Structure 1
Amino acid sequence: MTSNTISWDSIRDEVLADPEVKAEYDALESEFQCAKQVIALRKASGLNQRDFAKLVGIKQPQLARIESGKQVPKIETLAKLARSAGYDVEIRFVAPKGKRSHKVEPLRISAKELV
C-alpha cells in the first residue's frame, strides 16, 4: 500500500507563492523570532515547559502560547524569561534598510529593573 504524502516544505512554498500571504507571513517574522528565542532560552536552561514556566513565575499554557507565537510577551515577561535562564534583555532600534540613521545605543533591561 502506498501513501500519498506531501511535505510541509512543498505546502509552505505553495501557500507563500501568493503575494498577499507572503506579505503577511513576512510581517510576522519578528514575532516568530521572539518565539524561537524564548524556546532557545528554555532549552538552554535544560527544562521542559512546565518546569521553566514555574521557575519564571508564569503558567505553562502561557509559555506554550509564547513559544508557539500565539502570544507576544510584554517586555516584563521577556525580562523574567531571560533572567530565569541567566540572561538580560537587550532592545535595539534598527533603521530600515537603505535609510541613514544616527547610531542609537541598545537598551539593556534586567528583570530586576522591571519588577
Structure 2
Amino acid sequence: MSHSRWDTYKAKRLREMEADAQPHAEYEQAGRDLELGDQLRAIRMRRGLSQKIVAERSGMSQPALSRIEGGGGIPDIATLLRLGAAMAVRFRVELVVDDDITEIEPLTVHHRRLENA
C-alpha cells in the first residue's frame, strides 16, 4: 500500500472509530494494531530498509510484514524478536498489571539500536 493510500486508509479507520458513540473492543484493538504497525514501519524506514529485506531477514513473507505494518494484527513476541533482529534494533515490551483496569492502554514498543549493527 503506498504511503498516501495508507494515510487515507488509516484516517478512515480512525474516523470510523471516533464516530462510533459506544466504544467497541474491535475498534480499540484496531487502533492498537494501527499504532504498532506505524511504529514498526517508522523504524524500518528510518533504518533505510525495504519490507522485502526485513521480511527475508526475519523469515517471513513480505505480504505478512505488510499486513502487520498495515494494522492487520499484533505479532507475537517471537515475531517481534525476529523483526527487531532483522532491523538491528532491540524491542522492549512493557506489560503492566492493574487490578482496577478502567481503560486498555495501547501496546508501546520502545526500540534502541543494537551495538555493532
User: Is the TM value for this pair above 0.5?
Assistant: yes
Question: Which runs of 4 or more aligned residues in structure 1 lie more than 6 Å from their structure 2 counterparts after TM superposition?
Answer: none
Q: Which has the higher contact order (CA 8 A, sep 6+)?
A: 2
* Distance 1:75-1:13 versus aligned 2 partners, 3 A rule: closer
> Superposed, which structure 2 residues align to 1:1-115 within 5 Å?
13=15, 16-20=18-22, 22-23=23-24, 24-94=26-96
CA shift for structure 1 position 52: 1.8
Unmatched 5+ residue regions in structure 2?
1-7, 102-117
Q: Cα deviations across residues 49-100 of structure 1 (Å, max 9, x unaligned)?
A: 112211222110111111111132111111111122121121212356x87x
CA shift for structure 1 position 44: 2.2
CA shift for structure 1 position 46: 0.8
Q: Secondary structure at the match of 1:37?
A: helix
Percent of aligned positions that are identical = 29
Aligned residue-pair number? 90
User: Which structure's CA Rg is the greater one?
Assistant: 1
RMSD of aligned alpha carbons = 2.8
Q: Secondary structure at the match of 1:47?
A: coil
Unmatched 5+ residue regions in structure 1?
1-7, 100-115
TM-score, length basis structure 1: 0.60
* Distance 1:94-1:62 versus aligned 2 partners, 3 A rule: same
Matched AA of 2:65: L
Per mean C-alpha deviation after superposition, the further-off stretch among 58-67 and 34-43 is 34-43
